[in-house]
Amino acid sequence: MLRIGRYELYSVVTGAFRLDGGAMFGVVPKVLWGNAVECDEANRIILATRTLLAVDHDEKRVILADTGCGTKWSKELAARFAIVHDRDAIPNALSAIGMSIDDVTDIVVTHLHFDHNGGLTEWFDDPGGPTTLRFPKARHWIHKNQWDHAHHPNYKDRASYLKEDFDGLESGGVLRFVEGDRPGTPWPGVEWFISHGHTPYQLHPVFTDSSTRLYFVGDLIPTVVHLRLGWVMAYDLFPLTTLREKEMLFRGAIEQGWLLAFPHDPKIGGVGLSGTLERPIVTQTLPI
C-alpha cells in the first residue's frame, strides 16, 4: 500500500493476457525487445491487467481505475489472447481492507479498449445476450470524446472496442462525462491528465499531495520495459504524440519526483525514476 494525501493506493492484478511482441514495441526490432522480455512460440508477451484502487476512508470514497478484461470471452477468443481474468481479484482486495464491491463509489475509465475495461459489464444470462453492470452503484467517469470515439472507431483500432463492454453504461444511469482539455475532478487530492497518443482523450487519474504526484499512466507506458522513450506501441494511433507525452512524464518523474503506476507490467505496480529522458533509470519500485 502507498499513501498519498488522503488516499491509500493499491495496484490490483485482475488477470493476464498476451499480445504480439512486435505490436507492443512498434518499430523496435525483436533483436532488441527480445532481450528485455520473453515471448511464447506465437511471439506473444505476457501482460498483466492492473486496477488502481484508491481509498479515502474518511470520506468513504473508493475509486477504481480500470477493470481488466472481464469474463465475457468465448473459449476461442480467450485462447487467442491467452486471457485469464480473476473475477474475485477486486472483491478480495477490498475484503482485505474491510470493504466490498458495494463500497465502490467511482470508476475511472481511462479508455474503452477491452483489456482495460471489459470488466465493466458481465453477461446477464446467456453469452451474447444482454449485459449487466459489474459495479451498478458506482459512478463511471470517462472523457466524452473517448466515449464518442469508442462508438465510431477507425479501421486501425475498431477491434479493441467491444460494444458489450460499455453499451449498458448509459442506460444504467452510471455515466459521468469528463469534458474539455483541462477538466477538474470531483474529488480533492485528485487531478486529471488527458493524453492523445494511444487513443483520443485517454483519461488518467493523478493522485497528489503537497509533496507527491502519482500518475496512473495507462497505455502511454504499459510496462516497465516501455520506459525507453522510443519504445512505443504499434497500437498507438498517434505515435509522435505518445513520444511527446512520455517525454513530459519522464521529465516530471526525473526532475520533480513524480511516480508512475503501470496498467500492464506483470511484476511491478509502479516506479520512481532518475537518469535521462532517453534512458530513465528505475530508482524506486512502489509498494502497491
Helical ranges in 37-151 per DSSP H:
75-81, 89-95, 114-117, 144-151
Asked if 266 and 222 touch (Cβ cutoff 8 Å), the reply is no
User: Which residues form the domain of 54?
Assistant: 2-212
> What's the rounded Cα separation, in Å, for the pair 226 and 212?
23
Q: Is residue 256 part of a domain?
A: no
SS3 246: helix
Number of Cβ within 10 Å of residue 20's Cβ equals 14
Q: Is residue 288 part of a domain?
A: no
Q: Is residue 158 part of a domain?
A: yes
Q: Is residue 266 part of a domain?
A: no
pLDDT in the model for residue 126 = 84
pLDDT in the model for residue 232 = 98
CA-wise closest residue to 198 among 251, 253, 143, 275? 143
pLDDT in the model for residue 125 = 86
Query: What totals of helices (H) and strands (E) does the chain contain, helices first?
Result: 8, 16
Q: Is residue 23 part of a domain?
A: yes
> What's the rounded Cα separation, in Å, for the pair 144 and 154?
17
Domain count of the fold of the chain: 1
pLDDT in the model for residue 86 = 97
Cell 477504481 belongs to: 64
Q: Is residue 80 part of a domain?
A: yes
Q: Is residue 66 part of a domain?
A: yes
Q: Is residue 165 part of a domain?
A: yes
- Residue 231: which residues within 8 A CB-CB, separation 6 or more? 25, 26, 28, 33, 225
Asked if 237 and 209 touch (Cβ cutoff 8 Å), the reply is no
Strands (E), 94-212: 106-108, 121-123, 131-133, 139-143, 175-178, 190-195, 202-208
* pLDDT, averaged in runs of 10, over the chain (288 residues): 97 98 97 97 98 97 98 95 97 98 98 98 90 97 98 96 95 96 95 98 97 97 97 98 98 98 98 95 96
- CATH number of the domain residue 184 falls in: 3.60.15.10
24: exposed, middle or buried (Cβ count in 10 Å: 0-12, 13-18, 19+): buried
pTM for this one?
Answer: 0.96
pLDDT in the model for residue 127 = 85
pLDDT in the model for residue 128 = 83
Q: Three-state secondary structure along 8-50?
A: EEEEEEEEEEEEEHHHHHCCCCHHHHCCCCCCCCCCEEEEEEE
pLDDT in the model for residue 129 = 87
